[in-house]
Structure 1
Amino acid sequence: MFSGVTGIINRGQKLKGTVVLMQKNVLDINELTAVKSPTGIIGGAFGAIGGAIGSVVDTATSFLGRSVAFKLISATTADGSGKGKVGKQTFLEGLLTSIPTLGDKQSAYRIHFEWDNDMGIPGAFYVENFMQHEFFLVSLTLEDIPNHGSITFVCNSWVYNDNKYKSHRIFFANKTYLPSQTPSPLVYYRQEELKTLRGDGTGERKEWERIYDYDVYNDLGEPDKKATLARPVLGGSSTLPYPRRGRTGRKPAKKDPKSESRSDFVYLPRDESFGHAKSSDFLIYILKSATQNIIPNLRSVVTLQLNQPEFNTFEDVRSLYDGGIKLPTNVLSEISPIPLFKEIFRTDGESALKFSPPKVVEVDHSAWMTDEEFAREMIAGVNPHIIKKLSEFPPKSKLDSQLYGNNTSTITKEHLEPNMGGVTVEQAIQNNLLYILDHHDTIFPYLRKINATETKAYATRTVLFLQNNGTLKPLAIELSKPHPQGDSNGPVSDVYLPASEGVEGSIWLLAKAFVVVNDSCFHQLVSHWLNTHAVVEPFIIATNRHLSVVHPIHKLLLPHYRDTMNINSLARNVLVNAEGIIESTFLWGGYALEMSAVVYKDWVFTEQGLPNDLLKRGVAVEDATSPHGIRLLIEDYPYASDGLEIWAAIKSWVEEYVNFYYKSDDAIAQDSELQAFWKELVEVGHGDLKNATWWFKMQTRKELIEACTILIWIASALHAAVNFGQYPYGGYILNRPTKSRRYMPEKGSPEYDELAKNYQKVYLRTITPKNDTLTDLTIIEVLSRHASDEQYLGQRIEGDLWTSDSKPVEAFKKFGSKLAEIEQKLIQRNKDESLRNRYGPVKMPYTLLYPSSEEGLTFRGIPNSVSI
């Protein structure tokens, strides 16, 4: 691309440029989270903000002088060693005040480079920071290069004091090259930058480093603190396999050398955590503050001061959104200075704390109790991709019968057929009318351990019938628990049938609750954490280690990695760690992550794409006459039908992009960086599954297109579907409880008599208790929100400057336009009253796969990445 331009610039030419950057400023989130004060983390942090704002140093003067230096590197002229010639050092000049495109808190500076005619065309630059503090370098633009025009360097990176680095920081122009097409003067710099990012695999990582490396999940427990906080290592074994996380290099724990010691500082490659007045970082800060400060306060108030540890009626639960909880002034003082907490909890006056009303009860307080809504949420709720077609009867288990006995379902035809309108089980299976939500095999091996704690649970199977009106009707629920004489004797199972009145109706409501508790745990630990957050992280690491920033696939995937390592590191610190939020408030407790590792054994990357997932679960069949090549057997399946539109748009965009840069399959096989990336991803990043035969060989364009489409789908639409409905559905704990604490009452027992007298009290004593509910609501409210600076599917933070190639830019704009069309199509689909599953009894339209969103708790919007 630069050929034939050497020597076109006159000797002594001064190249004019503009540098855009942001100073390290008072809203550095990473520093704020460490602030302590007598009033607690939150009060102290916001006090720090107030004090710092009053002493902000003028950005213009702080960068003047010889503080930041640049050297251009030629892309067309080499020195004697074959490396691109390096120009003379030059420094930032005056502040520019008239650039309309500057973003919030950005500053622009003039700069002039001496660039002789024998230097050719710049293709990279070095930057040196001689100040004590780091700054965020946004971009450098060179203007009016003779016979060439302007060159843009998109940087978006933190630059620390030069002494922190073993080699100078380098940035490349927004050109895009396959490795074999790199201008020869830039080859050395491209390779050296990747070596820097890989590091040497040793030592404890420091804040300013930019090294991407792998480690197992050995940082969840704290065995040195107390024995009950020890947790097994996840990853590195066939027993508990797991995707890899980013390596931090912290010292081993003293009592368990296989575990890593924990500390307040968790290393991230610096650019994975922006920490700069960034709204998504602020949400993460709020999440951390909530776990460390707000939640403990709420718990102590409810338990000690209010002496009301349990909800007694459903009205008590609704009062969280209507009347609120009366709080002492000192607790409210921790919340009231924070606008986001004020919005989340709706603090009214000086003593009441009220949560936002969840969508599931905005129209009707009791519609969640209906069988239709219970079934609808399996295809339009927050965990809509677990239900399967029932292809054999009775349902069977894949558990080892030597260890767990006969786990074949005890549901019989006699249980089902009275509610099937004259259709037999055989006919229903033949005509694709029977479906199952099966949460048996995942939980049963752990049930004895789980039930040895204060929780009491069952393995569950729910069989459903597809009715003529397109809705699903639950026919039977099987609850199974371990045999008192040992696991090898098989489970003890009971089957419950639908009922709407009397004590039988209450029993049926409880049976559904046991199902939903299992679904809530599987959703949070597998569908959400494992299958989006955890599985994406190895892709991020492998990409940064082996695909240069100028590689087309790096540019394609970069938006879909934004903030993922950041939120994952926070999750390991306060959410999925030993006795963290998830272990404390969900049924799986201390076995939560361990159980997700067992599920990961059966994870198949190629089945994570939506069409293959639907086919695997039997809810769709291949059909060449259908728009997406498959036909849904449940025609009114909101998640699937909306998702197929999004999937097709992603795949079309990726196909156009990949085919622009790779003209043949041979180009895939010959791409050294791509091959190194894929090899390490399979053999290390997901190394516990490296021997699986389903991995793409990465030898054809078709394989690359499919792999990139699946990855983008996981990071964007799949995560959106399982994340942003958490509070709208689960914010009403009666609808999606996370724990069960009592077994099903048996006829003739005092518990059964109690159920007959006061079913609400029994239901509430069975599901998630009050303190855990407050914790759940606080956390999922934050997790269900969009940041103000969120980047949605079809958007890029760099605007049109992410590549200098016009065709990919135009293709990306076409992708954005297609998504806007799809959104309008989905809006119209939600207006079709014949599609009963789109609203359900709760009158709650399915909007989770609308591509766009505003800030906040919107129940819609597909961010590019797993960013919260």
Structure 2
Amino acid sequence: MFQNILDAITGENGNSKKLKSDGDQSMKVKGTVVLMKKNVLDFNDFHSSVLDGLHELLGHGVSLQLISAEKSDPAGRIHFVCNSWVYPAKHYKNDRIFFSNKPYLPEKTPEPLRKYREEELANLRGHGKEKDELQEWDRVYDYACYNDLGEPDKGPKFVRPILGGSAEYPYPRRGRTGRKATKSDPSCETRHPLLLSLNVYVPRDERFGHLRMADFLAYALKAIPQFIEPELRELCDKTPNEFDSFADVLKLYEGGIELPGGPQLENIRKNIPSQVLKEIFRTDGEQLFKFPMPQIIKEDKSAWRTDEEFAREMLAGVNPVLIRRLEAFPPKSKLDRRLYGDQNSSITEEHIKHNLDGLTAAEAIKNNRLYILDHHDCLMPYLRRINTTSTKIYASRTLLFLKDDGTLKPLAIELSLPHPEGDEFGADSKVYTPAEDGVKACIWQLAKAYVGVNDSGYHQLVSHWLHTHAAMEPFVIATNRNLSVLHPIHKLLHPHFRDTMNINALARQTLINACGALESTVFPARYSLEFSSTLYKSWVFTDEALPEELVKRGVAVKDPKSKHGVRLLIEDYPYAVDGLEIWSAIREWVEQYCLCYYETDETVQKDTEIQAWWKEIREQGHGDLKDEPWWPKMQTREDLIQSCTIIVWVASALHAAINFGQYPFGGYLPNRPSISRRFMPEEGTPEYEELKSNPEKAFFKTITPQLQTLLGISLIEILSRHATDEVYLGQRDTPEWTADAKPLQAFEEFGKKLVKIEEKIIEMNRDEKLKNRVGPAKMPYTLLVPSSEGGLTGRGIPNSISI
């Protein structure tokens, strides 16, 4: 039995077959049908070949019927891009429908196709299956809250709040699976056992292709803590569970960590699938954990420790979307004073005046020279709960000064805790300033590490997961439910949704779930997803447009005379410079495409599918924010063009910029620690004396321990890899994705423009005057270079959020 009709082409050389026409008259056409075996994704058959030819259909009861949309030359060529899995007819109430690659707006659809267009959308909405558990052959796109992260039947340790559907915990919706309720809490959904994690429901066409699945399994299983954590913990406890020096950490990349033999090692090997053993252990007989060399230490092993590199990564690192211009000094808090007292900053001019190059703080503000990396307000409400666990963190503010050479230098770091006498008394804060010698230099290094912990967690949970993965899933669902595959906007957006629902489902199953990999490796631990929910309250769809986002953070100002409509206040801001080039190219392409089909604003208003699509995104997909005034009204061509541009930008370039640098920057954990385990040593304590006598050991006793380091860098290595079958921005997986010539020409021009942008980025990276593009670590900024090969490259913009 064959499951997948990948591509059916009529009218070109190939096998001939009698097919039924709409009038039930026989006619002979030539065509090719490409098929894939059902077991191509079975774990024991990764390398099954793709079989083609109609002879494979003989005896299997498969019939094809051509429905004519309009009278045409029977010798003409019709192209069907199917790319879909087909199950036996007993699983379907209706025949499967595949449309040719000719797009139509709803009102311009040929009459013979209209009922099929409507029927197909009804099937995808799952009529009659609203309460059923969805099966692998179902093609239903529907919404659900995040009520499957916890496992209350296992006990209180595994209980997590439901995200979405409440004012307390608002969240984007996920794809519905319909699994039965847990016994302990009927509002929560049961979860698959770990070994069935890959079987969590998503519509079958959203699942990974066989090459991507092979890639994913080859790397991903080694990061699932439940497979290996008990044995690793025992081994690490005997090492013991600490790195003693930076040299110890370097062994992870230069020689590997030696694992003792005996029953513990055999338990690890037995609990890991054989196909990934070779990825965890070296194959030369040595019992070692070994990882690729992260780019941040490839050229210089100590440059990451410099203040210049610490600051540069806020502009050209893995989380370059948080730094903002300081508009008032000292920094002010927006937390409710009735609940949290005075949370304004305790940084004074005395702390920073010697580093302002002769300016006062007021002058530096006026001249746009002061900037801040602010993790204070988002963390302060969570500190009491988080710090009752083994984690010990601060709410932090980092002030920076823009120097004449275009680089930033840190001025001060403020570390704050809730007041010991109660939240209403405000913050208990201390301010640390740069130092180069003695114990003060060690304390400054620790202060930067606490900031790195905060930024690492915020990046993973908010910048990465919430703002790209979770925020995009409702758009994937709504598009499939409301825009026919015949719709031009479906054809525009579909490549940018590839694999997103699949990777998000796997994340819910093994990564962001209660006691999963993420909770094990980032500082909020059990509060991780709950923390991200509080930040969703301030998510604004229209602010995801890069120019607006930069202006909102104060790092750019609107300027109609500038190429991109904004002028950067930090001219050498690699993420923003490269991002604006990519944004403008996407915007121009989307505009050209949309104008091919929408001649007036009225065309948008009368497009019933577009209006239903946008209404459902607002009211269901992002239903907890449905009443926000910033949603576009979808009444003009500009509304449509800007909204589609934002969707493409977030799914491609934004995700690439904040995802594929995770291992290059964070694969060396001292540069971006994810956990801190004790507070800053106070003078007169044994910890302070240890810091003076052995600063490296004290540093590693503070940040991520050995076990979480192994798990954490295994995880981000997977997330930072490109699949071998990746499709990048400016590319399509089939050249005949549309039959319309003008969009094809515009897309070709889009691809050429991206090539020129790539050349420009490489050229800027060679310009020594642009100091933020390479930095002390000699690590060029390439995260927004459009193209890439497969693997761990630190560059490349895939079309979609696929990892």
TM category (shorter chain) comes to over 0.9
Q: What is the alpha-carbon distance in structure 2 between the residues aligned to residue 515 and residue 746 of structure 1?
A: 18
Q: What is the alpha-carbon distance in structure 1 between the residues aligned to residue 535 and residue 661 of structure 2?
A: 23
Match of 2:802 in 1: 867
Q: Choose the corresponding residue for 2:254, options 305, 308, 322.
A: 322
Aligned length: 772
Q: Choose the corresponding residue for 2:173, options 237, 241, 244.
A: 244
The answer on whether the counterparts of 2:399 and 2:412 sit within 8 Å (CA) in structure 1 is: yes
The 5-angstrom pairing of residues 405-424 of structure 1 reads 405-424=341-360
Moved more, 200-209 or 547-556: 200-209
Q: Which SS does the other structure have where 2:784 is aligned? A: coil
Q: Extract structure 1 runs of 4+ deviating beyond 6 A.
A: 7-11, 55-61, 334-341
The answer on whether the counterparts of 2:307 and 2:409 sit within 8 Å (CA) in structure 1 is: yes
Match of 2:632 in 1: 696
Measured after TM superposition, the shift of residue 421 of structure 1 is 1.6
2:759 corresponds to 1:830: no
Q: What is the alpha-carbon distance in structure 2 between the residues aligned to residue 12 and residue 412 of structure 1?
A: 86
2:109 corresponds to 1:182: yes
The answer on whether the counterparts of 1:224 and 1:253 sit within 8 Å (CA) in structure 2 is: yes
Residue 156 of structure 1 aligns with an amino acid whose one-letter code is N
Match of 2:33 in 1: 19
Match of 1:37 in 2: none
1:194-222 deviations in whole A, cap 9, x for unaligned? 00000132211111000000000000000
2:61 corresponds to 1:67: yes
Measured after TM superposition, the shift of residue 341 of structure 1 is 6.6
2:653 corresponds to 1:653: no
Measured after TM superposition, the shift of residue 625 of structure 1 is 2.2
Measured after TM superposition, the shift of residue 258 of structure 1 is 1.4
Q: What is the alpha-carbon distance in structure 1 between the residues aligned to residue 513 and residue 272 of structure 2?
A: 29
2:573 corresponds to 1:641: no
Measured after TM superposition, the shift of residue 349 of structure 1 is 3.6
Q: What is the alpha-carbon distance in structure 1 between the residues aligned to residue 478 and residue 489 of structure 2?
A: 12
The 5-angstrom pairing of residues 766-845 of structure 1 reads 766-799=702-735, 801-845=736-780
Q: What is the alpha-carbon distance in structure 1 between the residues aligned to residue 603 and residue 369 of structure 2?
A: 47
Match of 1:128 in 2: none
The answer on whether the counterparts of 2:219 and 2:279 sit within 8 Å (CA) in structure 1 is: no
Q: 5+ unaligned residues in a row in structure 2: which ranges?
A: 1-20
Measured after TM superposition, the shift of residue 282 of structure 1 is 3.2
Match of 2:77 in 1: 150
Measured after TM superposition, the shift of residue 66 of structure 1 is 4.3
Q: What is the alpha-carbon distance in structure 2 between the residues aligned to residue 413 and residue 778 of structure 1?
A: 43
Q: Taking structure 1 as reference, are residues 662 and 855 closer, same or farther at Cα in structure 2, changes over 3 Å only? A: same
Q: What is the alpha-carbon distance in structure 2 between the residues aligned to residue 784 and residue 298 of structure 1?
A: 26
Measured after TM superposition, the shift of residue 65 of structure 1 is 2.2
The answer on whether the counterparts of 1:336 and 1:347 sit within 8 Å (CA) in structure 2 is: no
1:690-740 deviations in whole A, cap 9, x for unaligned? 000000000000111100000100000000000000000000000000000
Q: Choose the corresponding residue for 1:706, options 618, 642, 663.
A: 642
2:136 corresponds to 1:203: no
Q: Choose the corresponding residue for 1:234, options 127, 142, 163.
A: 163
1:522-562 deviations in whole A, cap 9, x for unaligned? 00000000000000000000000000000000000000000
2:353 corresponds to 1:426: no
Match of 1:278 in 2: 211
Q: Taking structure 1 as reference, are residues 10 and 723 closer, same or farther at Cα in structure 2, changes over 3 Å only? A: closer
1:58-101 deviations in whole A, cap 9, x for unaligned? 9987532243111111213xxxxxxxxxxxxxxxxxxxxxxxxx
2:241 corresponds to 1:309: yes
Match of 1:365 in 2: 301
Q: What is the alpha-carbon distance in structure 2 between the residues aligned to residue 344 and residue 706 of structure 1?
A: 45
Name the % identity: 58
Q: What is the alpha-carbon distance in structure 2 between the residues aligned to residue 225 and residue 251 of structure 1?
A: 16
Q: Which SS does the other structure have where 1:406 is aligned? A: coil
1:18-38 deviations in whole A, cap 9, x for unaligned? 21221223x41xx43xxxxxx
The answer on whether the counterparts of 2:223 and 2:517 sit within 8 Å (CA) in structure 1 is: no
The 5-angstrom pairing of residues 8-407 of structure 1 reads 13-25=27-39, 27-28=40-41, 31-32=42-43, 48-49=44-45, 63-76=57-70, 120=71, 145-146=73-74, 149-200=76-127, 201-263=130-192, 264=196, 265-274=199-208, 276-279=209-212, 282-283=215-216, 286-288=219-221, 290-291=223-224, 295-296=228-229, 299-300=232-233, 302-303=235-236, 306-327=238-259, 328=261, 330=266, 342=278, 347-407=283-343
Measured after TM superposition, the shift of residue 17 of structure 1 is 2.1
Q: What is the alpha-carbon distance in structure 2 between the residues aligned to residue 608 and residue 345 of structure 1?
A: 41
Q: What is the alpha-carbon distance in structure 1 between the residues aligned to residue 430 and residue 334 of structure 2?
A: 20
Q: Choose the corresponding residue for 1:602, options 530, 538, 546.
A: 538
Q: What is the alpha-carbon distance in structure 1 between the residues aligned to residue 699 and residue 514 of structure 2?
A: 28
Measured after TM superposition, the shift of residue 515 of structure 1 is 0.5
Residue 309 of structure 1 aligns with an amino acid whose one-letter code is N
Q: Taking structure 1 as reference, are residues 493 and 828 closer, same or farther at Cα in structure 2, changes over 3 Å only? A: same
Measured after TM superposition, the shift of residue 12 of structure 1 is 5.5
The answer on whether the counterparts of 1:280 and 1:787 sit within 8 Å (CA) in structure 2 is: no
Measured after TM superposition, the shift of residue 356 of structure 1 is 0.6
Measured after TM superposition, the shift of residue 666 of structure 1 is 0.2
Q: What is the alpha-carbon distance in structure 1 between the residues aligned to residue 102 and residue 277 of structure 2?
A: 43
Q: What is the alpha-carbon distance in structure 1 between the residues aligned to residue 566 and residue 770 of structure 2?
A: 19
Q: What is the alpha-carbon distance in structure 2 between the residues aligned to residue 12 and residue 419 of structure 1?
A: 85
Match of 2:4 in 1: none
Residue 862 of structure 1 aligns with an amino acid whose one-letter code is I
Q: Taking structure 1 as reference, are residues 732 and 581 closer, same or farther at Cα in structure 2, changes over 3 Å only? A: same
Q: Taking structure 1 as reference, are residues 536 and 341 closer, same or farther at Cα in structure 2, changes over 3 Å only? A: farther
Residue 154 of structure 1 aligns with an amino acid whose one-letter code is V
Match of 1:140 in 2: none
Match of 1:125 in 2: none
Residue 801 of structure 2 aligns with an amino acid whose one-letter code is V
Q: What is the alpha-carbon distance in structure 2 between the residues aligned to residue 321 and residue 652 of structure 1?
A: 43
Match of 2:6 in 1: none
Q: What is the alpha-carbon distance in structure 2 between the residues aligned to residue 434 and residue 56 of structure 1?
A: 59
Q: What is the alpha-carbon distance in structure 1 between the residues aligned to residue 240 and residue 55 of structure 2?
A: 58
Q: What is the alpha-carbon distance in structure 1 between the residues aligned to residue 497 and residue 214 of structure 2?
A: 14
Q: Which SS does the other structure have where 1:75 is aligned? A: coil
Match of 1:93 in 2: none
Match of 2:789 in 1: 854
Q: What is the alpha-carbon distance in structure 2 between the residues aligned to residue 586 and residue 438 of structure 1?
A: 18
Residue 755 of structure 2 aligns with an amino acid whose one-letter code is A
Q: Which SS does the other structure have where 1:386 is aligned? A: coil
Q: What is the alpha-carbon distance in structure 2 between the residues aligned to residue 155 and residue 719 of structure 1?
A: 27
The answer on whether the counterparts of 1:526 and 1:596 sit within 8 Å (CA) in structure 2 is: yes
Q: What is the alpha-carbon distance in structure 2 between the residues aligned to residue 390 and residue 159 of structure 1?
A: 56
Measured after TM superposition, the shift of residue 345 of structure 1 is 6.4
Q: What is the alpha-carbon distance in structure 1 between the residues aligned to residue 425 and residue 741 of structure 2?
A: 66
Moved more, 852-861 or 286-295: 286-295
Q: Which SS does the other structure have where 1:169 is aligned? A: coil
The answer on whether the counterparts of 2:34 and 2:53 sit within 8 Å (CA) in structure 1 is: no
Q: What is the alpha-carbon distance in structure 2 between the residues aligned to residue 523 and residue 686 of structure 1?
A: 21
Q: What is the alpha-carbon distance in structure 2 between the residues aligned to residue 155 and residue 650 of structure 1?
A: 26
TM-score, structure 1 as length reference: 0.86
